[in-house]
Structure 1
């Protein structure tokens, strides 16, 4: 049927992608080449490519062409505390590394980018600071198997630095975990945390870093975590963003055998 020719083209391109005839990550033939190959009009070819794009099978890169999306193996991150609230493993970074090891994946992070800012809005409220009070911001890019996986920004009261937690302003990882470091340097013991999980479209910088389609068809999962000490004061406010096309987030509550979760492994 002439009216479904675009779908025939789309289905044939999918077969070529699945078989490896058109490798993942490679460029699709141009619109003109597809018109000749399938004896189709320009609009019919564009409809086929649009259908593939909407299903994230191909990605249009302005000025370069249309490319086959790379196959993404989802990564599952446990957000619940693994060893009790007072342990350094309960840092988001620790959970990320532990989850990667369980799934035989290779985690890595960028060196932290550290800035001193004025607290405002949500950051000031969650850290219980006055507007304009100074905070230390630590920003990191995180990867799984060298692929961009999440972005994390943590905020700490600048008063922690003046009280003795000077390594917060170092552009280097806190190897033992920030929870343990704040306990040893300031005597602050983590009592618990509160999570807020929301979904939103990515901004331009996030789309570029994660390699997401320009049409915002992939949402970001935004996890905002406020960590509290036994004294009742906030220790940290962290915002982590995860693209929904490559992340699975889960909690274990109570006595749950780890084997109950079927986490995917690398393809």
Structure 2
């Protein structure tokens, strides 16, 4: 466990080539500081304790540091699912990364998706930019995800629908766009999970997504070489030509009768 929250620490938290990961770390809380800089994907490469999925048989009773009878017990404050709570007698089945309320910038590291046993991820209130990594969809144990109040753009990855245990989601106050993924846990989230993204649409927001033309209809018209507009124009031209010919014949008809009877 590494808890440094609510201090005045500042500066970057890693230097390239001088940091080789936390092999035993399962809980890191750096929230409410002034840390800055970007986080390379290399930063989370060697977090061995979080890179391995917890077997289902061991999730309720996991040995800590190889000691059969000595389970890790401690007390800490943790922001989980949008609520600040006090946790006591923590087992190592809990895993959390909270770096909220700092000044980190750059893209969210895609290597976070390798932390398969992570349950809580809070990156809110920073200056992260770019796309939400689709690799976060591999966090099969994740229960709480907070990416709010950053500068994230693009669409919400469809892979996030695969997070079957996700009970809390906050993507509000970014610059996301497009349709909100439908199905899975996304059907349980409220408007507040997506507010402040003016270009998002679809359930649960009241803003509906615009319908695009049916691809089959467009391809059919292109394949035949003409569409309904061409057909209408053809009928119009045919009608005009037909009326013109009829008038010409009518004008010449008296002269024709005169030749026959003289």
Q: TM-score range by the shorter chain?
A: under 0.3
Q: Which has the higher strand share?
A: 1
Query: TM-score normalized by structure 2?
Result: 0.17
Query: TM-score normalized by structure 1?
Result: 0.17
If asked which structure has higher relative contact order (CA below 8 Å, sep 6+), I would say 1
